[in-house]
Amino acid sequence: MRTSEAEALYRFYRSADRAARLMRLSADRLLPEGLTFAQFELLDLLLQHARWKEEDNGVKPDDLSGQNGITPMRAADELGLTRGSLTSLLNQLTAGKLAVTRTDPEDRRSKHIAITARGRSLHRQAMIELSGLTTAMLTVFSRERFSGVQGVLDEFVRWLETEGRLQSGVSRAK
């Protein structure tokens, strides 16, 4: 029999999972033709990483020569994907000239992924399309309420990534 705490955690998990799935479905319908939500997520990650590099190195947004990019392994880890799933997404993005892969000049065995100017443009278009969903959500939920939920989810993710993982490992080891 489940305890009330375990039941509450499971309901929270199910609600968060269902909300994520429904948001992906809604976003998929709004994205520009031919762009899936999974592809958008990878483009978004590449763009975020490029912005960090630009801030660190003063690189102009469309100057790929200064971008080291992100390794496929790190991208897969940050997106919660298998290497095979990431490879498939990456192949789609590179075929559409939305991303490029480069060999690391310091370690020729390592590759890095970077977003292209075309990828940035499509990402910008997708963000415009998704803004309608955001506007619709904010007509139902206040910014404060939405921010409160975001704060709880962020905190929960941090806990799962640190203590939650350790606790589950300890209980299995017994």
Token representation of residue 149: 């939920």
pTM of structure: 0.73
pLDDT tens digits for 81-92? 999 999 999 999
Give dist(CA 171, CA 135) in Å, integer. 43
Q: For residue 101, what pLDDT is reported?
A: 92
Tell me the C-alpha to C-alpha distance, in Å, between residue 160 and each of 97, 163, 166: 36, 6, 9
Q: Which residue has the higher pLDDT, 128 or 65?
A: 128
- When pLDDT is cut at 50, 70 and 90, the band that residue 32 belongs to is very high
DSSP per residue over 30-95, as a string?
A: HSPTT--HHHHHHHHHHHHHHHHHHHHH---TT-GGG---B-HHHHHHHHT--HHHHHHHHHHHHH
What are the φ/ψ torsions at residue 166 (nearest 5 degrees)? Answer: -65, -40
Q: For residue 68, what pLDDT is reported?
A: 67
- When pLDDT is cut at 50, 70 and 90, the band that residue 166 belongs to is low
